[in-house]
Amino acid sequence: MSVFDKVFNLLVVEGREASAKQMANWFGTTTGTISARVSELRTQEGFAIYANKRTDSKGRTSTFYRAGNPTRAVVAAGFRALASNAA
């Protein structure tokens, strides 16, 4: 199974949340590869993948990814952008 498929299954199919560092450790790859796969899910596949930043008690910040449903405003903005590009 490819890294893309693993990230897709974790975030979209299973509905779990994880950081790039966690996924890189689980899937035996780098955080850069995970970030690229998340970007592909967003831009090429059209999934709403959200990045939520969290700070732990030691002041370290991590970004956790999760799949979700876009708001109506986000969908409307996308259609407006498509319409303006077509004109």
Kindly report the CATH number assigned to the domain that includes residue 78: 1.10.10.10
pLDDT band at residue 80 under the 50/70/90 scheme:
very high
Q: Which domain holds residue 15?
A: 3-86
* Total domains, the chain: 1
Position of tokens 């199919």?
13
What pairs with residue 68 in β-bridges? Answer: 48
DSSP 7-63: HHIIIIIS---EEHHHHHHHHTS-HHHHHHHHHHHHHTT--EEEEEEEE-TTS-EEE
How confident is the model over 8-64, as pLDDT tens digits?
Answer: 999 999 999 999 999 999 999 999 999 999 999 999 998 999 999 999 999 999 999
Given this model, what pLDDT does residue 87 score? 64
Given this model, what pLDDT does residue 8 score? 97
